[in-house]
Chain A
Amino acid sequence: MATEQESGDTVRERTRTGPYISFIRWMESLTETQFAYFLLTPALLLLLVIAVYPLIQTFGYSLYADQLTGTARLGQFVGIENYVALFSGARDFALPSAFLPGLSSSFPFVTGIYSSALMVTLVFTAFSVLFETIIGFAQALILDQDFRGRRWVRVAIIIPWAVPIVIQGMIWFLMFQPNIGFLIGTQENPAILNTLGLSFTPLRNTSDSLFLIIVADVWKTTAFMALLILAGLQSIDRSLYDVARVAGASKWQQFKMITFPLILPTVLVAMLFRTIAAMRVYGIIETMAGCTTVPSLSCLVVTTFNNSMYGTSATVAFVTAGLIGIVVSVYIVKFADAEGGF
C-alpha cells in the first residue's frame, strides 16, 4: 500500500517534534499506575479543593460548641461532645425533631418512629428507592423499544426530573391543599384518597406527608433511574439477543439472563446514588410539608445551619454521612462482584 510514500508511519511519527509531541510521548511512557494517577489528577485536585478541604474544615466545626451570640461563628472546643449529645438524645431539643427514635419499655419498644429524623429518612429512602428502581426499570424497558413517537414518550418520562424542586413541591402541595387541590376533599365531601385513609390535612401529619413526599419524589426521580437504565440497555450488544433467541429464551428469560445481568452494574450505580441522594432528602420536604412535620437528617443539618448552630450542623452532617456510608457499604459488600468496580 501507498508505495509512493517512502517513509513509513514510524518515520513520520518520529520526525514530529515540539512540546506537545514530547508531552504526549512522556504521557505514553508512563506505567499503568502512573498513567492512572496522572489522569486522575485534575478530578482529584478539584475534589480536594472544593470537597475535601471544606469537609476537613467542617469536621473541625463539629468539634466546637454552637455560638449564638457574638461575632464568632463557633463556641469553645468541646471535642466529641456534640456527637455524644446527638446520639444520647441530649441535643434533640435543639433540633426540629429527635435524631434517634426513643426507646420505650412497651411494645413496639420504639417510640416516635415518625418523629425521629433517622427513621423518617430510612423509611423515605427504602420506599422511594424501591419504587423508583422498579418503575424506572419498567420505563427504561419501554423506552428501549422501537416505536413511533418514542422520542416524545422519552421526553415525557424524563421531564419530571427537570422540574425544579420548588415547583415540584408546589405542584404536590397544591394538589393536597384543602380548598385548592382536587386530590383532597373535606369531611363532607371526601376524595378517593381520603376514603383510602389519607387524612384531610395530610401535609401536617408526618405519616401522610411522608407518603405523599415519597410519591412526589418517585414521580420526579424515577426519570433518573429510567435514564440511566436506558443508557445501560442501549449499550448491550444486540447480537447476544440473537443467540439467546435461537437458544430458545423467552422474552422473560432474555431479560433475566442477559439484559438484567448486563445492566446490573448500571442499575447498581443508579440505586447507589439514589440511595445516597434519598438519605439526604431535603428540598421536597421543605417545599411540601416542612422540616418540622417531616424531619429528615438533612432537615436537621439545614435547620441547625440556618439557626447558626454551626457546630451541631456539622456534627449532624458528619453523622449523616456516616450513616449513608453504612448503608452504602451494604451495597458494596453485597454487590461487589456484580459491580466489578469495587
Chain B
Amino acid sequence: ISGTGGDQTETEAGGSQTPINTEAPSEDVTVQWAADTRVNNNREAIFQSLREAGLPDNITVEVIAGSQVTNNRQNQYQQWLSSGREQPTLLMMDSGWTIPFIARNQLQNLSQTLPDSMTSRVEENYFEASVGTAKGANGDLYGIPLFPDFPTMQYRKDLLRNAGYGDSDFETWATESMSWVEFSKITKEAMNANPDTQYGYTFQASVYEGLSCCDFNEFMTSYGGAFFGNPAENLFGPVGDRPVTVDEQPVLDSIKMVRTLINGEDDEHALDGITGNIAPEAVLQWTEEPSRKPFTGGDAIMHRNWPYSININGAEDVFGEDLGVMPIPYGVTAEEAQYPMTGGPVAALGGWHVTLNPNASQLQKRAALQVMKAMMTEQFKLDIFEIIGWIPPEPDLLDSDRAAEVPVIGRYLSQLKVAGENAIPRPVTVVWPQQSSKIATEVNAAYAREKSPEQAMSDLKNTLEQIEQSA
C-alpha cells in the first residue's frame, strides 16, 4: 500500500504544460463543469447561450451543482485535484481562493497551453483586479474570470429626501463617492429625520472571512491602509518577504472610525470628525443576510452589500426606484493615500473564475477549451448577466445597452463600474486562510471594544508575521 501519497500528481502536473489543441474534437464529448446550484437551476438557458456563443453540437456540458457555501467547494476541489481525479474538467473557483490552487500546481496553466489570442483578451479587457486573482506568481494565467463581484453602498432615497437631500445629490454620489465623515453625518441626519427607522448603517463585521476579505479590507484600504505594504507589489506575495503593515495609522484610523459608527463619539478610541452611533452593535454578529434583512425590511438607511442584494432591494415590491446605490465611501482620497490602489471608494473584490483540471484527458481539455471560448464571448457574458445576474467581467460591457436593460441592476451599472475599477482583492496566498481568521478575530475584538485598536493591530501584526515566516 502506497506511502504518504499526494506526490503522484507532480508528474501529471508537468503534463499540463503541453499546449491544448484548439481544434474542436469531432467525437461526442461531455464536459463536466463543477459549478453551483444557480448554474444548475438555469442550465437550459445557459446551455442555449453557450451554443449560440459557438459551442459545437458534439460537446455537451454536464453541471455539477456544488454547494454555494464557498468553503465547502474549496474543500471538495482540494481533494479532487490533489488526488489527481480527471473529473470534473472545468471548475468554478472563487477568486478568493484560486491562488492557493495555483501555488500547488493544481490548475492548468492557461498562459502556456491556451492560444495567446485567448489569454491576452483576458489580460487586456477584463477587470484588472479580477484577473490578478487568477494569476500565478510567475504572472501566468490559470483561470478565466467568469464574473466579478463588488460591494456597493445602498441607501434609501426616500428617507434621505426627508433629510433634505435630493436627486441631484443622488446623481453625484452615484459616481463620486463621499467620505466617511460625510457619510456618517448624512446618515445621522437621515436618522434624525426618520425617527421610526431603527438603524442608520448596516454592514457585516461578524468574525468570518467576509470581515477580513471585505468589510475590514474596504475600511482599511479606504483610509489608505494595507495588510502588507504596497498592494500593487505585495498583495499576492511574496509570502514571508513583505512587510506587515496592519499597525499603521490608516488602519488604526479605520478601526476607530468603525468604533465611532457603532459606539458613538465618546468611545475612548473614537475618530475625530466621524458622526457616531449610526450602526447597531449587532453588526458585530452579522454576515450578509442578517445585515440585509433590516434594510430590506425598511429598518435601515444605509447598507453595504454585494450586487445580489441590489436585485432584491431594488425590486419593485421593495424599494424600486427609491433604492440608491453608490460606491463605498472613502477615508482618504487615492492621492492622499500612502500606497497605490488604496484610498478612494474602494470595493472588496469577489467573484468567480473558471479553471481547467490539469488531470483531464487531452480530449476533455480540447472540449473544455471550446466551452471556455464560448464563455469568453460577449454574447455569453451578457446572456448570463440576464440569466443569473453575474456581472460581466469586462468593464466595457457595463456600458453596453444590453446590460443597461437588465432589470433592476441595469440601473446601477455606472456605480458598479466605479466599484470594479477601484476593487481591491484580498491578499490571497497559500497562507491567507490562516491569516484571514486571525484578522477577523482581532478586528472584531477591536470593533467590539475588547481591545484597543493599537493593541489589537500590534497583536495581529505579530501573528501575521509569524504566519508569513512559517510559509
Chain A contact residues, CB within 8 Å of chain B: 53, 57, 60-61, 64, 66, 68-74, 93-94, 96-97, 177-180, 186-187, 200-205, 290-293, 303, 306-309
Contact A69 B467 (CB under 8 A): no
Q: Interface digits, B409-443 against A, CB 8 Å rule (1 contact, 0 not)?
A: 00000000000000000000011011001101100
Q: Which of B7, B430, B434, B441 is in CB contact (< 8 Å) with A73?
A: B7
Contact B470 A180 (CB under 8 A): no
- Least CB distance from A175 to B in Å reads 12
Contact A72 B434 (CB under 8 A): no
Q: Which of A74, A179, A290 is in CB contact (< 8 Å) with B294?
A: A179
Q: Which of A73, A180, A204, A291 is in CB contact (< 8 Å) with B284?
A: A204
**Which residues of the partner chain B approach A177 to less than 8 Å between Cβ atoms?**
285-286, 290
Q: Which of B1, B285, B466 is in CB contact (< 8 Å) with A178?
A: B285
Interface assignment of B78: CB less than 8 Å from any CB of chain A: yes
- Least CB distance from A170 to B in Å reads 12
Interface assignment of B74: CB less than 8 Å from any CB of chain A: yes
Interface assignment of B45: CB less than 8 Å from any CB of chain A: no
Contact B282 A292 (CB under 8 A): no
Separation of A197 and B469 alpha carbons in the complex (Å): 41
Q: Which of A68, A96, A204 is in CB contact (< 8 Å) with B431?
A: A68
Listed residue (B281, B431, B470, B471) with the most chain A CB atoms within 10 angstroms of its CB:
B470
**Which residues of the partner chain A approach B4 to less than 8 Å between Cβ atoms?**
57, 60-61, 64, 73-74
B7 nearest in chain A by CB position: A72
Separation of A228 and B37 alpha carbons in the complex (Å): 39
Interface assignment of B6: CB less than 8 Å from any CB of chain A: yes
Contact B467 A178 (CB under 8 A): no
- A68-B103, A70-B104, A71-B10 given; A201·B5 CB < 8 A: no
Contact A71 B437 (CB under 8 A): no
Separation of A143 and B440 alpha carbons in the complex (Å): 46
Q: Which of B206, B434, B444 is in CB contact (< 8 Å) with A94?
A: B434
Pick 30 A–B contacts, CB within 8 A, sort by A: A57-B5, A60-B4, A61-B4, A68-B100, A69-B103, A70-B104, A71-B13, A71-B105, A72-B7, A72-B10, A73-B7, A73-B82, A93-B466, A94-B434, A94-B466, A177-B290, A179-B293, A180-B293, A186-B280, A201-B281, A203-B285, A204-B206, A290-B208, A292-B207, A292-B208, A292-B441, A293-B441, A306-B74, A306-B78, A308-B78
**Which residues of the partner chain A approach B75 to less than 8 Å between Cβ atoms?**
306
Contact B71 A306 (CB under 8 A): yes
- A60-B4, A178-B282, A200-B281 given; A68·B471 CB < 8 A: yes
Separation of A204 and B446 alpha carbons in the complex (Å): 12
A173 nearest in chain B by CB position: B290
Interface assignment of B29: CB less than 8 Å from any CB of chain A: no
Q: Which 5 pairs show the lowest CB-CB distances between chains A and B?
A: A73-B6, A178-B282, A68-B430, A93-B466, A201-B285
Contact B470 A94 (CB under 8 A): yes
- A180-B293, A201-B282, A292-B207 given; A307·B10 CB < 8 A: no
Q: A68-B103, A73-B7 are in contact. List 14 more A-B contacts (CB 8 A).
A: A70-B104, A70-B105, A71-B82, A73-B4, A93-B438, A96-B437, A177-B290, A179-B282, A180-B290, A202-B285, A203-B285, A204-B444, A293-B441, A309-B434
Contact A69 B207 (CB under 8 A): no
Q: Which of A73, A93, A96, A203 is in CB contact (< 8 Å) with B470?
A: A93
Separation of A64 and B6 alpha carbons in the complex (Å): 13
- A204-B206, A292-B207 given; A72·B6 CB < 8 A: yes
**Which residues of the partner chain A approach B430 to less than 8 Å between Cβ atoms?**
68-69, 308
Interface assignment of B133: CB less than 8 Å from any CB of chain A: no
**Which residues of the partner chain A approach B286 to less than 8 Å between Cβ atoms?**
177-178
Interface assignment of B60: CB less than 8 Å from any CB of chain A: no
Separation of A53 and B5 alpha carbons in the complex (Å): 14
Interface assignment of B448: CB less than 8 Å from any CB of chain A: yes
B81 nearest in chain A by CB position: A71
- Least CB distance from B463 to A in Å reads 5
Interface assignment of B106: CB less than 8 Å from any CB of chain A: yes
Separation of A74 and B8 alpha carbons in the complex (Å): 12
**Which residues of the partner chain B approach A290 to less than 8 Å between Cβ atoms?**
206-208
Separation of A177 and B71 alpha carbons in the complex (Å): 22
- Least CB distance from B275 to A in Å reads 19
**Which residues of the partner chain A approach B194 to less than 8 Å between Cβ atoms?**
none
Separation of A32 and B105 alpha carbons in the complex (Å): 56
